[in-house]
Structure 1
Amino acid sequence: MSTGGSASLKEALTAQLYQLFRVHGFEGVSIGAISAATGLSRSSLYHHFPGGKEEMAEAVVARARGWFAGHVTGPLRGAGTPQARLKAMLSAMDEAFAGGSEPCLVASMLVGAGSNPVTDGLRALLNEWLDALGACLVEMGTPKAKARPAAAAIIGRIEGALILSRGLGDRSHFKAALNDIAREAG
C-alpha cells in the first residue's frame, strides 16, 4: 500500500475512532470493540497505531484539537466583530453536537477513575477554548480579570445544556442555551 493510501486509511480510522471514543470514552473502548467497529484485525490496528489504544486516543484528541482550532478558537480570534465571532463559535458547537444530540468527546474521554493518556491533551484543548473565548469577551467589554471565569461559565452552560438535552432526550435545552448566550452577547 502506498504512503498516501496508508495516510488516508489512518485518517479514516481516526474518524471512526473519534466516534467510538466520543460515545464510549477512553475507558469504555476496548481493542476488541475497535476491531469490530473498523473491521480490522488487531494486528492491522497495531500496524497503524503501534502504541495501541493510547496512540489511537491521542490521534483522536489531535483531530479534535485541529477541529477546534479551525472552527472554534481560530474564529474566536479571527476577523469580524467579537459578537459575530462568538456567534460563529456557538454555530460550530451546534453543528459539532448535532443540535444537542451528539455527546462531547472531551466529557466522554474524561469519564473514569482518574487521568488517562490523553488527559493533558484534553486539558490543553479546554485551556485553548477558555483563552480564545476569554480574549473575545475582553473585546466585548468584559474586564480582563473576569474574562476567564466568564468564559468558563459560558462553556459550562454549553456543556451542561448538552448533558440535559441528551439525558432528557430533548434538544431544546441545548438550543435554548446557545440562543441565550448569543442574545446576551448582543
Structure 2
Amino acid sequence: MPKQTYIPYLLQLFRQYGYDGATLSKISEATGLGKASLYHHFPGGKDEMVETVLDYLEQWLGENILPALRSDGDAETRLRRMCDRLSELYQQGEQPCLFAILLLGSARDVFHTKVERLFRTWIDAIASVLIADGMDEEQAKHRGEDVAIAIQGSLILSQGLHNPSPFQRVIQQLPRSICHNSQ
C-alpha cells in the first residue's frame, strides 16, 4: 500500500502521543506494519512520518481552508466556511492540533519552519479576507493572528478540560466577532 494510506493512523498517533511519545512500537501497532515495513515506507523514520503528515495537512489547508476563504460571499460567510472546515478537522474540538504538539517537544526545531509556514499561510489568507472587507493591512494581520490564537487556545483548553465546548463556542462565535469588530 502507498504510504498515504497510513496518514490517518499517523496523524492520530502523533496527536495523541506527540513526537517523543509515538514510539516505533506504537506506530507499528497503529499502522499494522512491522518495523522493517515502516522503514520501507518511511526510510527517514519518524521524521519522515511527521513530514508526510505535515504535507497532508498542508494539502488539506490548500483544499479546504484556502478555498473557503477565497470563496464568494462576505467576510463573515467566508470565515464561517473556514470554521466549519476546521471543526471537521478537529472533530468538533475532540482532537488536538498537531502543530501545537510538535512545537512543544524535541521535534520543535525539526519541524518549526514548516509549521510556521503553514500558520503564516493561514493567517495571511484570513487577513486577505478582512482587507477585502475594508480593514487596513496591519489590523487585518493582527486579526488573523487573533483567529489563530482563539482557535489554538480553545483547542488546548478543550483538551485540558476533556470538554470540546470551548472550541465549539469559539468556532461558532469567531466569524461574527472578527467581522463585527472590524467595523
Q: Same fold (TM over 0.5)?
A: yes
> Counterpart in 2 of 1:166?
159
105, 128, 132: which one aligns with 1:112 = 105
> Counterpart in 2 of 1:3?
none
CA distance in 2, matches of 1:18, 1:177: 23
100, 114, 127: which one aligns with 2:120 = 127
Displacement of 1:80: 3.0
10, 34, 52: which one aligns with 2:27 = 34
Range with greater deviation from structure 2 (139-148 or 112-121): 112-121
Displacement of 1:42: 0.9
Large movers: runs of 4+ above 4 Å: none
- Percentage of identical aligned residues: 34
Range with greater deviation from structure 2 (150-159 or 21-30): 21-30
CA distance in 1, matches of 2:18, 2:162: 20
CA distance in 2, matches of 1:23, 1:102: 8
CA distance in 2, matches of 1:79, 1:145: 23
> Retained in 2: the 8 A contact 1:26–1:110?
no
> Counterpart in 2 of 1:94?
87
Structure 1 segments unaligned to the other structure (5+ residues)? 1-5
TM-score, length-scaled by structure 1: 0.89
Q: Quick one: which amino acid aligns to residue 99 of structure 2?
A: V
Displacement of 1:114: 6.4
CA distance in 2, matches of 1:150, 1:133: 8
CA distance in 1, matches of 2:20, 2:142: 30
Aligned residues between the structures? 179
> Counterpart in 2 of 1:13?
6
CA distance in 1, matches of 2:46, 2:113: 16
Describe the superposition over 1:67-97 as per-residue Cα deviations: whole angstroms up to 9, x where unpaired.
Answer: 1111112321233332211110011111111
Describe the superposition over 1:126-155 as per-residue Cα deviations: whole angstroms up to 9, x where unpaired.
Answer: 111011011111122221121111110111
Residue 53 (str. 1) matches residue 46 (str. 2): yes
Indicate the SS of the match to 2:80: helix
Indicate the SS of the match to 2:113: helix
Structure 2 segments unaligned to the other structure (5+ residues)? none
TM-score, length-scaled by structure 2: 0.90
